[in-house]
Chain A
């Protein structure tokens, strides 16, 4: 057994688990944050994507003990007090989801790619950045539209702030 301590969505949280417990199971079952999904057992679908120390990772392919001591952001941590994150809002506006199963992972991947590319995102880049996220419903088209729209809005508000 191990004691795992993480800063999750800004709050310090800890729990006991077996060394073999996957981070995604720790998040869902120990921390009760069930927004992060498990969509495959081959590390390919991306439904489990969270941010570990600010970077998108597959929480189904990391042990909770490997992550101990880190800062974690899950889908529950994106929205402010009552306000959706601009990426979440854009998914709503542009119909970027259907069943919603892949959506938490796709949104976390989208926030990560927008952070890394700092405004310089085009359709081709978005599509290749989505390599690690599989969606069985949308055909990706509206996902791409939503990410580009959120990116434009976020860069505009960044520029306004400068």
Chain B
């Protein structure tokens, strides 16, 4: 690992000013993506600004159906939240499928969303739930946030502070894990809120997470696996790699969508 200077921020504004004053600065939350990347010398931040101890970025707040998860909340905390489980258990189950117990004790929802790994789980949930990404500067709709492989609408130095969404009537997530990395080879999140259905796919798209419009239309008309059987998934634009080619992933999208629907009930 290259040398770095560590700073621990006590507030969002302090973090932003430490970042602005740093050289090639980068934020670190759980570090479950960034530290391994630094170990491989694929990242070399001159200054590292730790967001993990900022009180405003912690905690899960639920007001009726409105959910707000602080960006520094860990995957383990989301998975174990009985409060969240009463309004949106699919998100708890998704968090419990990320990596392994030790990764879940450190990794955060904010770090995962900001990183936008094409095989990460949370981006699918955020997109399907039409979540709002609350940052240090503004609020960004999930539809505008995930812009490509490891790319987001975040500006230099902008901090994800919280994720907010309305708990849907029904939601489910199914993931086909890569058995070695535990990331999604394909993951599908389905959500139904006041008749409006959204289906988001992770792990399969060459440009990262995306919405599956044909499945959304089919499920809006008929919320059943039969409706999904009639949808053809185009392998164009899907990932081909040593784990599986685009045709294989196209099939996985359909199978995972059916399992997600079954999980949603």
Q: List the one stretch of B101-109, B152-160, B244-252 in contact with chain A.
A: B101-109
Complex contacts, B50 vs chain A, CB 8 Å: 66
Give Cα distance in the complex from A147 to B3, angstroms: 40
Number of B residues near A (Cβ < 8 Å) is 29
- Residue interface bits A30-69, CB-to-B below 8 A is 1, else 0: 0000000000011110100100100111101111011000
Tell me whether B76 is interfacial, beta carbon within 8 Å.
Answer: yes
Tell me whether B35 is interfacial, beta carbon within 8 Å.
Answer: yes
Contact B6 A2 (CB under 8 A): yes
Complex contacts, B2 vs chain A, CB 8 Å: 20
Number of CB contacts from chain A to chain B under 8 A? 76
Most buried by A among B28, B100, B180: B100
B170 CB to nearest chain A CB (Å): 25
B78 CB to nearest chain A CB (Å): 14
Complex contacts, B31 vs chain A, CB 8 Å: 61-63, 66
Place the interface of chain A in its size category: 20 to 34
Contact B39 A41 (CB under 8 A): yes
Give Cα distance in the complex from A112 to B31, angstroms: 20
Tell me whether A72 is interfacial, beta carbon within 8 Å.
Answer: no
Secondary structure at chain B's binding surface: helix, strand, loop or mixed?
mixed
Tell me whether B232 is interfacial, beta carbon within 8 Å.
Answer: no
B35 CB to nearest chain A CB (Å): 5
Tell me whether B195 is interfacial, beta carbon within 8 Å.
Answer: no
A119 CB to nearest chain B CB (Å): 16
Tell me whether A131 is interfacial, beta carbon within 8 Å.
Answer: yes
Contacting residue for B101 out of A2, A18, A65, A113, CB 8 A = A113
Tell me whether A129 is interfacial, beta carbon within 8 Å.
Answer: yes
Contact A19 B105 (CB under 8 A): no
Contact B3 A20 (CB under 8 A): yes
Q: Are A20 and B4 CB-contacts (below 8 A) given A42-B36, A57-B105, A61-B32?
A: yes
* 21 A–B contacts, CB within 8 A, in A order: A20-B2, A20-B3, A22-B35, A42-B36, A43-B35, A52-B105, A57-B106, A58-B103, A60-B39, A61-B36, A61-B39, A63-B6, A66-B6, A66-B28, A109-B101, A112-B101, A131-B100, A132-B99, A132-B102, A132-B103, A133-B100
